[in-house]
Chains A and B, each alone.
Chain A
Amino acid sequence: MTALTLTNVNKSFGQVHVLKDINLEVEDGEFVVFVGPSGCGKSTLLRVIAGLEDVTSGDVHIDGEIVNHTPPSKRGIAMVFQSYALYPHLNVRKNMTLALKQERQSKEIIDQRVAEAARMLNLEEYLGRFPSELSGGQRQRVAIGRAIVRHPKLFLFDEPLSNLDAALRMNTRLEIANLHRQLEATMIYVTHDQSEAMTLADKIVVLRDGRVEQIGSPMELYNNPVNQFVAGFLGSPAMNFLPAGLLSDGDERTLGVRPEDLYLSDSGELSATVRHVEHLGGDTNVIAMINDHQVTARLFGQHAIEAGQDFKLAVSEGKSYYFDKSGERLSA
């Protein structure tokens, strides 16, 4: 069963064409992440799904029904915002129950759902507090709780973690993953952080300039990117791009190599000068220059390498990607 289908969705603001022919299917229970650089239209796409923006053309189906003209509250969705967007004048319990009261649910159902959500998110102690009395992480949990109590067909997350600090972000990421497992709900998640996308998603949708570049599971995209943009966007440190001419004369293509697929070898074909070394303990990232091109090599373990050193790099067998001038992937 498909939870969400987008067919030829276009969105323009005046002259500006923001979303271009988006087609997408999301299965029931899937965790889908929209990822892309800022300004690529991913948040707009989410707002179109939510019904906060109308489509200019194309159809949005939720649970098999066309919802182009259905108001947001009738679409069976719940949304978690980047800025939390809690109602400042209502306490945590009232923040969570407002939507249910609007739907005229019975008091028993409301109480039961709030209790359930509060237990899941460890918010029991805070139900009587106001948003201004909560920390950032707690507010974020309330925002998620407000979505959970509605038992929506579709959860929409708009960069929910970007206002949290790094440690909290890790924890909340785990909580969201757990939640997805517990609720078995369909979730759509927007982020510009590729590591969030890789760790959370069943399916990643990479967007650029309002177009879908590629859709697939995280590993599919990582191992088999269709173009240079997707290859460079996913993975950290990012993929290295070099002119293939460095390896064989006259080759016009662009060579792409992931940092972990570069290794030190005396018989390596690429001679490089070390510019900077990042010792991470478990890994060592070596940033080196090959002629004028900067590359990053990720070496497992600890290595005594210093800036200024010269050495040879080799590419692991079968781990090279080739791209043509326009950035399209070429089969090796």
Chain B
Amino acid sequence: MSLFPWILLLLPLLAAAANQLYLKRNAFIASMVSTGSVVVTFVIALVLWGLDEPSAASFSWMAVGDGVGIDLTLKLDPLATGMMALVTGIGMLVHIFSLGYMAGDSAKARYFTGLSLFMFSMTGIVLAGNFIMTFIFWELVGLSSYLLIGHWYQKDSAADAAKKAFIVNRIGDFGFLIGILLLFGITGTFVFDGMREGLASFEADHAAFFTENSAAFSIILGTALLCVFCGAIGKSAQMPLHVWLPDAMEGPTPVSALIHAATMVAAGVYMLFRVQLSIGEDFAFTFAGDVIAWVGGLTALFAALMATQQNDIKRVLAYSTLSQLGYMVMATGLGGGEAGMFHLYTHAWFKGLLFLAAGAVIYACHHEQDIWKMGGLLKKMPITGATFVTGTAALIAVPFTSGFFSKEAILHAAEHNQALFWLAVVVAVLTPFYMTRVIMVAFLGKPRGDDSDHAKEVRPVMWVPLAVLGVLAILSAYPGIHSIAPATPEHAGEFHPNALFWISLGALIAGVVPAVLLYRNRDKDPVSIPLFRERFYIDAIYDRVIVRGVQNGAAALVHFFDEFIINGLIVGGASRLAVSFGLLFRRVQNGNLQGYAFTFGLGVILVVYFTTFWK
């Protein structure tokens, strides 16, 4: 049994390696190898999920002393195995969908290599037994995301988006790594299982210090946790590092579904919950919890506002993803990690569905992504259209869909913080508003362009995954099915017509009705709010002020000083001195080896002479 979970981890890597090394020219076999590997891993994930406390062998990776070092260990608790079932399940559907979506792509083999590399890396994050492993795979998902966003690397926009995603994530990782090290300094370990104990003994060892400085413990632990949270800010695209995710839509749409909606971007939430579990109740005690919750809440709000004015169908979904991730982060910060994880689980299915359905639409409309050039697609593409509507229903929390139950869990987790609770309710109004806008404009009404006029329903290889996801978008939150979720709050999936229910139903209606009235039979957007459309000008400020101004300015300034002060003055002085070495220089120029060797020999003799006389 003990090597079995390792197969789950390593199989996608093998597939990626085989594709890269041997199958580059045989795209069909490469796509089959990747898809086959994810089917097998899905089965393994289901088997592991059913097992009671599965275990895996561990290996020494980096040993520097007796018992000092880093081991490779897999953690196989219900959180990890549930997450695995989710990741491989969606991964499998996205692979199958990609067989159709990428059929005509000239670099199909490279695409599937990237997907397999991603599956490997994501599995690693989920199963990591210690923080160093988490960080390793954290970086590797960053790489696979970089490769897949930049799949069409000859397009400048795709290449730039890939680079941006990687660098912005690295900024988050800067804090993440510091946090890991600080936490290591506190608990003395990187291993998740040992953290609680390490923390307890840290507190006990310095008991005198902490009674004297009562706030110190919270400050020390809280700072470390906040730094760790920086990793989640980057990977889960929270403000202020959210800017890479909308640009990441330059990648093929199935990639957006799998990586930039359902799984990788949720890794930040997963990691936070993993830390919450490992640290125990101290997690929410520190000031870090409040900061995390507010970052999440504000991201949820601002991203939803941005989504209301986007015209690219994928960008609407991208901002919606930001907003929903903000919900999850907020819940986790408030100590309701279970609610956050539960929303992660339902969101993965319905957002994966929405992206794939959008992909099918884009495919059918010959890569048109502007919703104002679509219209009437529900008639042209009934299956795709129906699944998109289903996904939307779950996202906007129509009662008795999966998203309804998980959003209620989030609101419930926020109940003890009035400000954040009402903020979350505002987001729950905005979400139905912008999604209804998309449906009204793109799927209803009349076709507004040739591409949408000639759109046809996609092939079964693409709509079957949509249908499966559609079913899950409705049912995944119900008791029985949700037992596979990585974590579920108490009473998840149960219906209670309490105050919370009426509030969220009110929010739904308050969002849908104005959107229907505003956007029925429109040819262009009747609302224009540049602030929202231009994303609060955050991207522009980053580009002009931080990248071009601060970073490039500083680089140029430092370069100037390097060139003229250090190089010019110091070395300039040295070269004047060196004129007296002129003989040596001429020999270098002439390449007179003997002459040089003579000089060197002279030096050696001098050394010997010098040392002899020293004594």
Do these two chains really belong together in a complex?
Answer: no
Q: Which B residues fall within an 8 A CB radius of A? A: none
Q: Which A residues fall within an 8 A CB radius of B? A: none
